[in-house]
Amino acid sequence: MFAQALAYGIILGIFYGLVTIGLALLFGVMKYLNLAHGSFMMLGGYICFWMFALWGVDPMLSIPVVMIAGFVLGLLLYQLLFKSLSKVPEGRRMNSSMLMTFGLLMVLDNTAIALWHTDIRTVNTSYSGRMIDLIGAKVPLTGVMVTMIAVLVIIALHLFLYGTYLGKSIRATAQDWEAANLVGVNINFTYLICCGISIALAGVAGTGIVIVYSLSPDVGLRWVLFAMVVLVLAGMGNIKEVFLAGLIMGVLEQLSAVFLGGQFRGVASLAIFVLILVLRPEGLFRR
């Protein structure tokens, strides 16, 4: 039972990291808190679902299309909404972005309800429901596949941030945008690309949701709450530690379900959130 809970906790924790990484990137670089991040995950999930339902495209093969669509949506999001906040002092950016994206969340979710109703949708492929052995436990193949996608996202994002000039510009802007601007970094372009990457990552997470779980217009709000807990656990703006924080949260949730009962699984994440805010508000890994 312990091995089963640990295996599910690892899969869930890595997925929590995938859900949170785009939100953490946007906040770490731009100091914007995007409450509509879950709604963009929902849109990515619907793109994956309709490609499968209409044309039979395997969900794994739809990920590049979802990422491109998410990147374009991120560019539009910055140009139409976030660009106006780029000159606002950093201390006010978070509050302004929260108000702005809360309204965007309501628009996107209600538009999705109008278009696709509140029906719960799933993707049933030939390998859905198949189980494999992992550290002495039976785990779903789809969960392992989504975990592998999350690991690839980690590696790709790390190589981009630390191996390219644009990635160096993003890290410099995250540290001190005024100093980065003085040495020639194009701040607006850096923000534009960062916003595109953030929404593209949200789309990947949405694909994982529709593959492993289920999809409905209100699913984004539930997942963005989990992302907020992981973000606080890692430390607001910490990008590298997001997956470790998600792993801790996922394992603790599953173990609490085993030892305390399934009804306490949801309570665990909220208890962690409150304890971190009280005892270490800067996060576990914030220096």
Q: Look at 274 and 41; give whichever has higher pLDDT.
A: 41
First to last CA, the chain: 36
121 strand-pairing partners: 215
Q: Look at 56 and 135; give whichever has higher pLDDT.
A: 56
- Residue 287, pLDDT above cutoff 70: no
- Residue 171, pLDDT above cutoff 70: yes
pLDDT at residue 213, rounded to an integer: 92
pLDDT at residue 24, rounded to an integer: 93
Region of residue 214 (phi > 0: left; psi between -120 and 50: alpha; otherwise: beta):
beta
All structural domains of the chain, each given as residue ranges with its CATH number in brackets, are 2-279 (1.10.3470)
Q: At 237, which amino acid appears? A: G
pLDDT band at residue 257, thresholds of 50, 70 and 90? confident
- Averaged pLDDT score across all residues of the chain: 90
Residues 193-197 have a mean pLDDT of: 96
> Exposed, middle or buried, 50 (CB in 10 Å: 0-12/13-18/19+)?
middle
Q: Cβ contacts of residue 20 below 8 Å, gap of 6+?
A: 226, 227, 230, 231, 234, 242, 245, 246
Kindly write down the DSSP assignment for every residue of 48-104, as one continuous string: HHHHHHHH---TTTTHHHHHHHHHHHHHHHHHHTGGGGTTS-HHHHHHHHHHHHHHH
pLDDT band at residue 276, thresholds of 50, 70 and 90? confident
Q: Cβ contacts of residue 80 below 8 Å, gap of 6+?
A: none
DSSP secondary structure code for residue 124 in this structure: -
- Residue 236, pLDDT above cutoff 90: no
